[in-house]
Copies of this chain bind each other. A is one copy, B any other.
Amino acid sequence: MDFDNLLGFIAASMTTAAFIPQTYHSIITKDLSGISLGMYSAFSIGVILWIIYGIRIDSSPIIVANIITLGLSATILYLKIQHMRQTKETQY
């Protein structure tokens, strides 16, 4: 692996791993009121586009990281929607 790929993997690991404490926090505390539905909806769609981009430019850091990120962001999105249904919350 060359330096650029290594750098990309570290960057990807950080921005992907970042969603682990948020997912954990959201699961444990069930405190979803401060989480934005708009963010996790747009983010999950964007991550799917990143995966397609990564495949096309043949960048393995982008592909691998975004597949994992999608799993985490989709989990938070699911918890948020579940929370909104339970609390009848309406928000942006």
Binding site for B on A (CB under 8 A): 3-4, 7-8, 10-22, 24-26, 29, 31-43, 45-47, 49-50, 52-53, 56-57, 59, 61, 91-92
Chain B residues closer than 8 Å to A47, beta-carbon distance: 11, 15
Can you show 30 pairs from A to B with CB atoms below 8 A apart? Answer: A4-B53, A7-B52, A7-B53, A7-B56, A8-B53, A8-B57, A11-B50, A12-B46, A13-B46, A14-B42, A15-B50, A18-B39, A18-B41, A19-B39, A20-B38, A21-B36, A21-B37, A21-B38, A21-B92, A24-B36, A25-B34, A25-B91, A26-B34, A26-B36, A31-B33, A33-B34, A34-B34, A34-B35, A35-B35, A57-B59
